[in-house]
Amino acid sequence: MKHQVKRAVIVAAGTGNRMRPLTLNIPKPLVKVSGKRMISTVIDALEQNGITEIHVVVGYLKEQFACLKEDYPQIDLIENPMYDTCNNISSLYFARQYLEECIILDGDQIIHDPKILHPEFDRSGYNAVWTEEETGEWLMQVKDGVVQSCSRSGGKRGWQLYSISRWTAEDGRRLKKHLEYEFDEKKNRNIYWDDVPMFCHFDEYELGIIPMNRGDVEEIDSLQELAEADPAYSILLKESYDEHTKE
């Protein structure tokens, strides 16, 4: 049975500590790479795929996201008031009413190929890239299209999980229930939201993958990676390096 994405939730509330000092004054998703905000590549790709109901969860320097409303007046900004005391499970918790027939993404990535956000899917699950080499990222083992296990510490010869996932109406309701259980009842607030379906309640889902190529999306997690993606930041990287060297 084919399912269709009807809405998107973009998680964009974090502090981006690994990209300081740049992110002391600007939220990481709003950082421009080659002249374009990272989150804008996500929103544009969603719209190119006909996904126009878009909810953006904000927290750190939340007032700066008002600029998005100028370019994308239809987006809905959701505040996560607990962004600085909890992990990103809190962001999805505050957007939990929108998880049915939903695609969930991080706002601090660059979408190079919009086709990877296509709205049609067979089962709930994650975009993933096959890797032969050793990786420290979350790595899934898949059999007959179904995820059998996931390693937080990585490994090799497996499917590397990316922060792009789709959820059927049924699984979206299930995810909402599990988020409420972990967040409200267990007070389990220092985990990633992906821990909920992938580890805390794995047996209650039958997750799949949507294969893609490594160059289709770019995750930038440090000033070094930012300078590699956009040489205009090389000076900032050098200044940061010099400052740490003085210390």
Token readout for 176 is 């909402």
- Structure tokens, 164: 């792009």
Cis peptide before 21 (omega within 30 of 0): yes
pLDDT at residue 233, as a whole number:
87
Domain extent at residue 42: 3-246
Tokens linked to 8? 């998107």
What 8-state DSSP symbol labels residue 170? H
Q: Is the dihedral of CA 132, 228, 9, 72 positive or negative?
A: negative
3-state secondary structure of 143: strand
pLDDT digits (tens, 9 = 90+) for 26-41: 999 999 999 999 999 9
Mean residue pLDDT of the chain comes to: 93
53 vs 33: CA distance, rounded Å: 25
How high is the pLDDT of residue 19? 86
pTM: 0.93
- CATH code of the domain covering residue 69: 3.90.550.10
pLDDT band at 244 (very low <50, low <70, confident <90, very high): low
Q: Once rounded to an integer, what is the mean pLDDT over residues 87-114? A: 97
**For 136-144, what is the mean pLDDT?**
96
Average pLDDT of the segment spanning 61-90: 95
CA distance 80 to 15: 12
Q: Residue 238 pLDDT > 90, yes or no?
A: no
Helix or strand (DSSP H, E) at 240: helix 234-246
- CA dist., res. 84 & res. 201, Å (int): 25
Q: What's at 37, amino acid-wise?
A: R
What pLDDT does 39 receive?
97
At 241 the pLDDT is 60
Total domains present in the chain = 1
C-alpha dihedral sign at 158, 152, 106, 21: negative
Residue 242 pLDDT > 70, yes or no? no
Residues 221-245, mean pLDDT to the nearest whole number: 77
